[in-house]
Amino acid sequence: MCNANTYEDSCAVTLRISVLDDWPPYSWKNEAGEYQGIDVDFVTSVFSKLGFCWAYNTYPSSTRAFRELQKGNVDVIFAASYSEERAQWSTFSVPYRVEDMRVVRHISDKSTNWSNSNSTIVVNRGGYYGELFEQFKEQCSTCVYESNAAYERLNMVQNKRVRYALEDYAATTYIKKQHNLEEIEVSGETIHSSDIFLMLRPDALTSEQLELLNRQLEQHSKDLHMH
């Protein structure tokens, strides 16, 4: 799917963007096959103002999208967390929103100690959940399951296939209501909060274009905080 700009000659640059098609409220594909969501609206607003054109591609996991960016087949990945390892092969924009990761559990489970050595946890393949989770994974790698789809992860908790899921709060709230997942609940405690960035292929933009993008992202964030 491409943006509304028809003639490539009128574009300052044309970017290939990796997008998830099943992660509401941030990005998903509707019945007409069109992408929509908070991050999709964000890209449309910011990139249009800069005269950028873009086309969306969906990959089966974040890990696959990262590989495609490294191979030069993807220019932009949104909703990315920063890490020093990723910064070795990509360029990060300024942050444009904050991610709030929380524990999702079955309503019959009142335990708050998700990092207990006996816990089974499902997470997004390629996701980052903070240092405490990294330590937990080192101590009990067999306790951690990975799934590409947020609904599948939440359904695993609903059906008690795992004890916990670590999920974005807004996405969990939206999907829980959308699919009537009445047997799960989200903890009130944030286990990991981090800035969220655009991750770009190092040569995707010129230094001048990257500076303009960062200015627009900062203005976009200010506008959001005013409403």
For the chain, the farthest-separated pair of C-alpha atoms sits apart, in whole angstroms, at 59
Asked if residues 155 and 181 have their Cβ atoms less than 8 Å apart, the reply is yes
Domains and CATH numbers, the chain: 8-97+194-226 (3.40.190.10), 99-193 (3.40.190.10)
pLDDT of residue 128: 87
Q: What is the pLDDT along the chain (227 residues), one digit of tens a residue?
A: 455 444 455 899 999 999 999 899 999 999 999 999 999 999 999 999 999 999 999 998 889 999 999 999 999 999 999 999 999 999 999 999 999 999 999 999 988 788 886 789 999 988 889 889 999 999 999 999 999 899 999 999 999 999 999 999 999 999 999 999 999 999 988 999 999 999 999 999 999 999 999 999 998 877 765 44
Ranges of beta strands (E only) in 19-96 are 22-23, 27-29, 35-36, 52-57, 76-81, 91-92
Which amino acid makes up residue 166?
L
What are the angstrom distances between the C-alpha of 137 and each of 134, 142, 151? 5, 8, 22
pLDDT of residue 168: 95
